[in-house]
Structure 1
Amino acid sequence: MLSIKLDTSAIRKQISDLQKQIPFATSLALNDLAFQAMRAENDAMSRIFDNPRPFTQNSSRVRKASKRNLIAIVSLKDAQAKYLTPYESGGQHETPGKGLLIPADIRLDQFGQLPNGLIKRLAERKDVFVGTVHGISGFWLRTPKLNANGKPKGGRRGVLNATRHQNTGLTLLLRFGDNKPVTKRMHYRDRVAEVVAKNGPRALELAMRKAIATAFR
């Protein structure tokens, strides 16, 4: 009778080493997919919104997975989430007050939006006040008094002159409007799911190759 024995200790050690690398490989794949999803979300902002500011364009972030915590999270940054969340889950526009600020006679920034800090600057001006004139509420500019020729000393007549033929001596800068439900949708969660479904197998394959190479150096 012939007895055959094999020394499998080396193979068992390699298998054990490989098993130890699985959490590492999983975390690599999760983080790869998370950053792919983050880039997809940021790229989509220019398609969802017309000429968004960089602040909105780069609104997503990643919390990375680790070997001990196999969860990678893609989410909106806190500041951007305040006004972008209604575009995902519905609701009204996020505003600092109860209504929308609608430009009337004010210079917009390069993105077609109210410049940062505008409201604070207007509130500090002595020639600007917030009030209701002839039923229109908003930020109003007091225009200069007339000169000896009966013409304004610079500036221009208020917009009410054009709409109601009344010389108010005021210019409407910003009008308060009723808040409205958000109609656009970002489809944020759907986009993340699409990235994972499309690129998940490939990301895991590449991560396993890297983990194996690391295990058997």
Structure 2
Amino acid sequence: MINLKVKVDTKSIDRNLTDLVRRQIPFAKAQAINAVAERVRAGEQANFKETFRAPSPFTVNSVAVRKATKSNPVATVYVKPIAAKYLLPYETGGVHTLNSRALLNPKNVRLNRYGQLPRGMVAKLKGMPDVFVGAVRTKDGQTINGIWQRPFLRGKDAQLGAGMTVRKRNKLLRGAHPDMPKNANTSGHLKLLVRFGNALPVNKQLKWGRLAKQIVSQHFNAELSKALAKAIATAK
């Protein structure tokens, strides 16, 4: 879990306060710490959006706060475990954390709005009758492991409409083959849908801890003053 604990020592302030106000201090401490913790959460979420290209809501909303109380003036800002697992390399360095045995590099697959493979897409592809998983040796001698789609048509039909736009060519092919699946591969050759690879080094840094410390340093005194002023105003 990626987390940051915020704890403050206000004993010097306590000594200069009246008994009436002092009774309000534990609550004021907790209020100030929680206000700063919320600022840290918002700052880290904004940092995700600046660091990553269109991060998913799951990633952005993975930042959470465990609040301070009067008896325990400690707030913890943390990333929930699932997201922390793949975000940790962006803080400590290293390679991407894989959720499978290989890095999935989409090639000819529709991605979601966040530029990621939709959940369950790999299983869906593997279940298609014209798709297989394996290694293919290309003309230039490379061996590429991945998910491949076989061509729907071969021979003369594969050349039908050569030189036309893909849309017009597919329209002609569907006329000749009404049973052709909507997402059929009509290129006449194997199509690489997803390439498998090894985990790559991360090339970005979140600097989670440094940002959190900056926010605490910048805002804590103001939040504590605000909380103390409220405590004094409401003291009875």
Pairwise CA RMSD: 2.0
Give 1:167-206 correspondences, 5 Å limit. Answer: 169-206=189-226
Q: 1:208 aligns with which of 200, 210, 228?
A: 228
Query: For each residue in 1:86-125, what CA deviation from the matched residue of structure 2 results, as whole angstroms up to 9, or x when unmatched?
Result: 1011121111223311122112222222222211222332
Gap change, CA 1:105 and 1:63, over 3 Å in 2: same
Q: Is the 8 A contact 2:158 2:186 kept in 1?
A: no
Question: Gaps spanning 5+ residues in structure 1: where?
Answer: 1-13, 159-168
Q: Report the more deviating stretch, 198-207 or 127-136.
A: 127-136
Q: Give the structure-2-normalised TM-score.
A: 0.75
Query: For each residue in 1:18-57, what CA deviation from the matched residue of structure 2 results, as whole angstroms up to 9, or x when unmatched?
Result: 2222111110000000001100111111210112222223
Query: For each residue in 1:181-212, what CA deviation from the matched residue of structure 2 results, as whole angstroms up to 9, or x when unmatched?
Result: 21211011111101110011100000111222
Aligned-residue sequence identity (percent) comes to: 39
Between Structure 1 and Structure 2, how many residues are aligned?
193
Q: Is the 8 A contact 1:131 1:140 kept in 2?
A: yes
In structure 2, the partner of 1:5 is none
Residue type of the partner of 2:185?
A: G
Deviation at 1:126, TM superposition (A): 2.7
Question: Gaps spanning 5+ residues in structure 2: where?
Answer: 1-16, 138-142, 161-172, 174-183
Distance 1:38 1:117 in 2: 30
Are positions 1:36 and 2:39 aligned together? Answer: yes
Residue type of the partner of 2:129?
A: K
Gap change, CA 1:185 and 1:149, over 3 Å in 2: closer
Residue type of the partner of 1:188?
A: W
Q: Report the more deviating stretch, 17-26 or 189-198.
A: 17-26
Secondary structure of the 2:24 match is helix
Distance 1:58 1:150 in 2: 48
Query: For each residue in 1:137-161, what CA deviation from the matched residue of structure 2 results, as whole angstroms up to 9, or x when unmatched?
Result: 0011122133764548652236xxx
Secondary structure of the 1:120 match is helix
In structure 1, the partner of 2:104 is 101
Q: 2:53 aligns with which of 50, 55, 61?
A: 50
Secondary structure of the 1:72 match is strand
Q: 1:88 aligns with which of 88, 91, 106?
A: 91
Max Rg structure: 1
Distance 2:158 2:117 in 1: 34
Distance 1:157 1:116 in 2: 27
Q: 2:148 aligns with which of 130, 135, 140?
A: 140
